[in-house]
Structure 1
């Protein structure tokens, strides 16, 4: 059974992200599952740190993007979601290719949500494990 309260397609979500950090980092939503939201991000100059490895901040941006969008899709149209806390454990370095993030809910509450975001490489090895806590507020 789907957890989503708002209807959106992958194309809708990618169009909604135009002119944002997501576009600058090459983040693309690729799948909306029954309980998961998935996106990819290339390992390119814009997502690397000066030593040539995937920047931890880029992984954190992918995690927060996925978790925030997923949280919003689990709320009524009159609500808006804001990240409260992000924890990211960077477990493997990456110099090229692409990473994939998958957001899965830990708790979907009416005022607070918690999401786990697993970021893996092309061989499905874990690159970053994140937990995002999100506040849900009425839009004013």
Structure 2
């Protein structure tokens, strides 16, 4: 089974949507193999989003991601990365398909409730950023 990383972002944790989003993931065939609620430090957020450094939105993104706790999850299923990206929906909830997480829960393009890995390589890096091997249970 393929694995991917999900982050339930500050706007969703502040609105107490963690349980709803996790239940929605399970109803859509994902198995939760690892789960943590954490308060990202500025250094952690900057490290995680390092590829965006230098872009005009970088500081806003970091401030948003440290504004409240996040929930990081390792998800597993066949074609997990592609399936999760489909279930997340477009970054802008106004453009997201009906029934996607962002259409259901996101507030706007910035406060879009969830993050998901975009490739197998990225998924492996992102999972390792938050989880050790012994924290992931099949």
Q: TM-score, normalised by structure 1?
A: 0.31
Structure with higher strand content: 1
Structure with higher helix content: 2
Q: TM-score, normalised by structure 2?
A: 0.31
**Structure with more contact order per residue of length (Cα contacts < 8 Å, sep ≥ 6):** 2
